Structure formats: structure tokens, C-alpha cells
Chains A and B, each alone.
Chain A
Amino acid sequence: MKSETRRRPRAIWPKVVLYALMAVMSVPFVFPTLWMILSSFKPQSELFRKPPALWPERWTVQPYIDAVTTQPFLQQYWNSVYIATLVTLGTMLFASMAGYAFARIRFPGANAMFLVVLVGMMIPSEVTIVPLFRAANALGLLDTHVPLIVIPMLGAPSVLATFIMRQFFLGLPTELEEAGRLDGLGRAGIFTRIALPLAKPALSAVAIITFLKSWNLYLEPLVFISTKTKFTLPVGLTQYQDAYGELQWNTQLAGTTMTVIPVLLVFLFAQKQFVQGLAQTGLKG
């Protein structure tokens, strides 16, 4: 910046304006998260103080104790973690298999089948929620986690993952795989030993997209689950509102903080992968 200033002394003002603009624009993006974290350490009375203060006057962890004792929050947390993990692992496996086959292996009917899979990308999952609910009911799967695992893993939400994997394998040079073939590897061996280890960038994108999607899933658990201990976090978080006649805001904010912070931390450490991976959800279709 110094050398810039020396070369063009008048250029410093636009820079100050730009920094000021970016700083002001950051407020609505950063402030809510910051406010959420700090407010979760305030007693309820401090939340409604006027004028409002961002920093807690009296720090307390009571909201956190309330958050895990007034409802089975830890159980719901575990539900979200294990469901998102299963969905992510399953999607990585099935999407990379299908993506590889569509990109590399020639077999009769491949194009037609790819079209069938692609249809899933055009259909919002809300459209099919009624028949899926009916099917889950008929199979006795209501109020179980099975629909929350199977539908995202193999239904419409997983299509994007297959698409990403297919695009990646299409762009991968075939020479290494041919070498593997000459060394006597079969198709499955080439896939697991050569293609898949090379696909780490695409796999991490798929993992990030899938985990976040499952972690944030709201309509499906709301519709399929009715027992509190079986709720996932997004549904559980809204229940603090109904548990009392009076809203326990600080308790609810403690719950949301515990939901948000781990993901946010992982994001800060793996920012590049997150940005690149999630940008692909924007370009789907």
C-alpha cells in the first residue's frame, strides 16, 4: 500500500472509501452471529435492556445448562451428527460410483439412465413430500430416521453430487487408468485404487455440500418425526419457543450457538474447499 501511495498520492482516498464500504457492508453478515454468541451468555433480563448492549454485563452459562436440560438437546445433537455423517458417507460412495460409471464406462442405455437420474435435479423435494410421507407411513417408517437418511442419500438431493463426480471424472486424463488396466486391474480395481484417490477435490466438495444440506434439513424432519428425542437440531431449536408460555430466548440462542459454532470453525479452517464446493451448488442444473 505504501508504494502505491508513493506512485499515485491521490489514490489513497478511494481506498479509504472502499475499506469503509466493506466494513459497513460486513455488519449485517457478521453482527447476527456475533450477537447470537454473546447473547447466549446473558441472563434473560439483559436481552431486553434499553439501550441494548452487545457485550454481556453479567456472564452466565445458565442458558447452556437450560438448553441441554429443558429438552433432549444432546440426543437431538447426536441425531443430527450421525444422520448427517451417514448421509455424507453414503452419498460420497454412491455418487462417486454412479458418476464414475456415467463418465467412463460404456454400457447400453447409459444415456437414458443418466437422463432419469438428472430429472431428480429439476424436482424440488417439496413437490414429492406428500407421496413420500404416504410411502413412509405405509412402510411403518414414520417417526424413524430412515427417511431422513435414505431420501437425501439416494433421492433428489444426491443427484447434484453424482453430477459433480461425473464432471470431475470426465475431466480426468485416462492415461493413469489405462496404465492400471495394463497392470491387470479390473474396472472395480481401477476405480478404487486409481480414480477415487485422484478425486479428492470433488469428493470434498460433495462431502461439504451433503453434510451441510443434511445438517440444515428442516421440512423433512418436521414432517416425518414427531417424538422429541428423535428430532434433529433444526426442529429441536424451534421447540424452545413452544416449551414455555414465555420465550426463553437466551436458552434458544445457546442452542443455536452450539449448532452453528462447530460448522463455522470447520469453515474457517477449510475455507477454500467450502467456497469452491458450495459454489457448485449455485451452478447446478
Chain B
Amino acid sequence: MVSAATPRTGRRAATRRPSGRPRSAIRRRDALVGYLFIAPQLLGAVALVIAPLIAVLYLSLHDWNPLASTFTFIGLDNYTKMFSDPSFLDSLEASGYFSLGLVVLNVTLALALAVLLNQKLPGTTAFRTFFFSPVVVSLVAWSIVWSFLLQYDGGINGFLSAIGVQGPNWLRSGPTAMASVIVVQVFKNVGLNMILFLAALQGVPMELREAARIDGAREWRVFRSVTLPMISPTVLLVSVITVIGSLEVFAQIAVLTGGGPGNSTTVLVYYLYQRAFKYHQFGFASAIGVVLFLIVLVLTLAQFQTRKRWVHDEV
């Protein structure tokens, strides 16, 4: 915006040669520095992101199994095979289930915790630390600990039996496995969204809420009719971002359930991993990657639209 090359004081300018050459020379040197500064990042983006993305598209049109050393062009066969493959449809379903469950639970809990912390009682910073701390705990470590707590003779069932309840085998039975993975992931990362909501809540003018209270509105009514509408852009944006992030879930699945029981928790990325690195179907796995990319692309575009329409207060 502001050209830093323009000398401001007349005295300084007067000492320069009058031809204007120094200025353009500075510009040229500036541009050169600019190119040098972005070169590593740009080359990295091209070599490690753009080129592999094109390669995924290309590979998805091939039957490629390095063990059998086959590499043949098969057109869209991987895709037609994929959409008639029940295990692929299962993984789509698992991802959908996981993302939906995660976003609903995560956003609700994050909002509830943010509202609690926003009461500004003395000592709430300690609770903020508690709620946020799992975010910095290694994901694999967190999953390992929960896999012990959730196993059949683990901590949670031990506690339940102490109060006379026989808990299920959380991670090994159909109905509870996916729910467990979702809950473990919510506790891991809900602190992040909580912070975002807390910032949004603190942006709601106190006067508005006070006014509603003076009008006789009860707390819940104030929250629903004043606070929630004010922060709804943030809620919407955070929800979309959470869904996008949830599609990348992998380590939790690998540690907690291994995709089972059956393939009820085999989400898209885990399915891709299995096809590529267990069964060596690299072409087929690339096709899964393309589908994953398209889903994320659609969601990202939706996110941009959301931002444009709803979020005006961005810096």
C-alpha cells in the first residue's frame, strides 16, 4: 500500500541523484528480494502440494500395485468400482456419522463451557486451563489412555461396576464404538472452540444483555434472544471448520478401534490408509484421496461463502 521506497523528508530527497534512478533501482532490488523471500515457500507449495495433487488425479486413473508391479491405465474404473464397493460406502457413512456427531457435540459443549467461563467468577482461569489442557496432550497419548479407560476391564467399567452397573465393551461393540471415538475426540479438542466462542461472547456488548434483563427477560431468554444471535456467525464458521477438521481423523481411529468392529469406524482416511499401505492398491487409494479432496473443497467453498455473508468483523 504505502511505498516504503518513497523518501519522505525533502532534505534526504535532495541528497539523492535527481534522475529518479535510485527509486526504480530500489524497486527492482525490492522485487528481487520479494522473489527470494517467497521462493522456499512457493517451491514447497508447488512440489509438495500442487504436484502431488495433480499426481493423485493421474494415479486415480490407474491400476497400480507396486507388489505385483502393475501400472495400467484403467480410466474411471477405480471410481465405478469404488461406488459399487460396500466397504467404501461404509466408510462414507462412518465419516458422515463421525463428523456429524463430532460437530454437534463439540459445538454444543464448547458453547456451554464458554458461557460458564464467561460468568467471570473468581478462579475461572483455572477451569479454562483444565478444559484447554487436552489440546496440548499428544493425540496418540490421549487415545492410548482412553483406550485403556474404555476397554472391557478398564477404568470406566471398573468405576461403573463399583456402583453396580455392568458397562459394555465400549470400543469393541457396534453401537458404542463410534460414539466412544467421538466423545474421546470431543474432550481432546473442544477447548479450542471454547476459546473461540469465549472471544465471541466477550464481544457481545454488556448493554444489550442488561437492557434485555431490565425488560424482564430471564437468563436463558437473554442468552437465546440476544447473545446467541450475536455470536451465530462465529458458531456457523466454527461448525464448518470443525467438520473439515473432523474428516482428517486418523490416529484416534488407529489407536482406539483399528476401524472396527467390522468396519463401523473405518472413516475415509483410515480406509485410504488401509487400501494404500495394507493392500497396496495405490491407484484405488488415490481415487479415495480425490473423493476426500472434493468433499473438503466443497466444504471450504461453503466456509468462504459463510465468511463473506456472515462474518463482517474480521480484521
Spell out A's residues near B (CB within 8 Å): 1, 15, 18-19, 21-23, 25-26, 28-30, 32-33, 35-36, 39, 47-48, 50-52, 94-95, 97-98, 100-102, 104-108, 110, 113, 116-117, 119-120, 122-135, 150-151, 153-156, 158-159, 162, 167, 171, 174, 177-178, 181-182, 186-188, 190-191, 212, 215-216, 218-219, 222-223, 233-235, 237-238, 249, 252-253, 256, 259-260, 263-264, 267-268, 271, 274-275, 278-279, 281-285
Across-interface contacts of B179 in A (CB, < 8 A) = none
Please give me the residue from chain A that is nearest to B129 by CB atom: A271
Across-interface contacts of B130 in A (CB, < 8 A) = 26, 29-30
Across-interface contacts of A278 in B (CB, < 8 A) = 135-136, 192, 195
Given A36-B145, A268-B129: A124 and B300 interface contact (C-beta under 8 Å)? no
Across-interface contacts of B255 in A (CB, < 8 A) = 238
Across-interface contacts of B12 in A (CB, < 8 A) = 182
Q: A245 to chain B: closest CB distance in Å?
A: 16
Please give me the residue from chain A that is nearest to B245 by CB atom: A282
Q: B55 to chain A: closest CB distance in Å?
A: 4
Given A218-B250, A234-B138, A267-B133: A131 and B59 interface contact (C-beta under 8 Å)? yes
- Asked if B203 is at the interface of the complex by the 8 Å CB criterion, the answer is no
Beta-carbon contacts under 8 Å, B1-58 to A: 1-5, 7-9, 12, 29-31, 33-35, 37-38, 40-53, 55-56
Whether B241 pairs with A212 at a CB distance below 8 angstroms is no
- Asked if B131 is at the interface of the complex by the 8 Å CB criterion, the answer is yes
30 pairs from A and B in contact (CB 8 Å cutoff): A25-B127, A36-B145, A47-B148, A50-B158, A94-B41, A97-B38, A98-B41, A101-B34, A105-B30, A122-B297, A124-B247, A128-B49, A128-B52, A128-B56, A132-B52, A133-B276, A154-B44, A155-B49, A156-B49, A158-B44, A218-B140, A219-B250, A219-B251, A222-B254, A256-B144, A259-B138, A263-B137, A267-B133, A278-B192, A282-B238
CA distance in complex: A167, B314 (Å): 11
Spell out B's residues near A (CB within 8 Å): 1-5, 7-9, 12, 29-31, 33-35, 37-38, 40-53, 55-56, 59, 113, 116-117, 119, 121-124, 127-142, 144-146, 148-149, 153, 155, 158-159, 161-162, 187, 191-193, 195-196, 199, 238, 241, 244, 247-248, 250-251, 254-255, 269, 272-273, 276-277, 282, 285-286, 289-290, 292-293, 296-297, 300, 303-304, 315
Given A128-B289, A234-B139: A158 and B162 interface contact (C-beta under 8 Å)? no
Main secondary structure of the interface of A (DSSP, over half): helix
Q: B140 to chain A: closest CB distance in Å?
A: 4
Whether B5 pairs with A181 at a CB distance below 8 angstroms is yes
Whether B158 pairs with A153 at a CB distance below 8 angstroms is no
CA distance in complex: A162, B153 (Å): 47
Q: B156 to chain A: closest CB distance in Å?
A: 9
Across-interface contacts of A252 in B (CB, < 8 A) = 144
Whether B122 pairs with A123 at a CB distance below 8 angstroms is no
Whether B121 pairs with A15 at a CB distance below 8 angstroms is yes
Whether B140 pairs with A237 at a CB distance below 8 angstroms is yes
CA distance in complex: A135, B58 (Å): 14
Please give me the residue from chain A that is nearest to B116 by CB atom: A22
Please give me the residue from chain A that is nearest to B155 by CB atom: A52
Across-interface contacts of B286 in A (CB, < 8 A) = 130-131
Whether A260 pairs with B31 at a CB distance below 8 angstroms is no
Closest 3 CB pairs of A and B: A154-B44, A155-B48, A105-B34
Please give me the residue from chain B that is nearest to A50 by CB atom: B158
Whether A281 pairs with B29 at a CB distance below 8 angstroms is no
Whether B52 pairs with A117 at a CB distance below 8 angstroms is no
- Picked from B4, B145, B272, the residue with its CB within 8 Å of the CB of A32 is B145
Whether A51 pairs with B161 at a CB distance below 8 angstroms is yes
Please give me the residue from chain B that is nearest to A182 by CB atom: B12
CA distance in complex: A22, B127 (Å): 7
Given A26-B131, A108-B31, A151-B48: A264 and B195 interface contact (C-beta under 8 Å)? no
Across-interface contacts of B273 in A (CB, < 8 A) = 126, 129, 219, 223
Across-interface contacts of B140 in A (CB, < 8 A) = 216, 218, 233-235, 237-238, 256
Whether A105 pairs with B37 at a CB distance below 8 angstroms is yes
Whether B153 pairs with A263 at a CB distance below 8 angstroms is no
Please give me the residue from chain B that is nearest to A135 by CB atom: B52
Across-interface contacts of B304 in A (CB, < 8 A) = 285
Whether B42 pairs with A117 at a CB distance below 8 angstroms is yes
Given A126-B250, A187-B29: A51 and B139 interface contact (C-beta under 8 Å)? no
- Picked from A105, A151, A156, A285, the residue with its CB within 8 Å of the CB of B241 is A285
- Picked from B133, B158, B293, B300, the residue with its CB within 8 Å of the CB of A127 is B293
Please give me the residue from chain B that is nearest to A250 by CB atom: B148
Given A29-B133, A116-B42, A130-B56: A283 and B282 interface contact (C-beta under 8 Å)? no
Please give me the residue from chain A that is nearest to B31 by CB atom: A107
CA distance in complex: A102, B34 (Å): 8
Whether A126 pairs with B292 at a CB distance below 8 angstroms is yes
Whether B38 pairs with A113 at a CB distance below 8 angstroms is yes
Whether B289 pairs with A117 at a CB distance below 8 angstroms is no
* Apart from A116-B50, A123-B293, A130-B56: 6 A-B pairs, beta carbons within 8 A: A18-B121, A26-B127, A117-B45, A134-B55, A150-B48, A284-B241
Whether B41 pairs with A97 at a CB distance below 8 angstroms is yes
Whether B33 pairs with A18 at a CB distance below 8 angstroms is no
Whether B43 pairs with A154 at a CB distance below 8 angstroms is yes
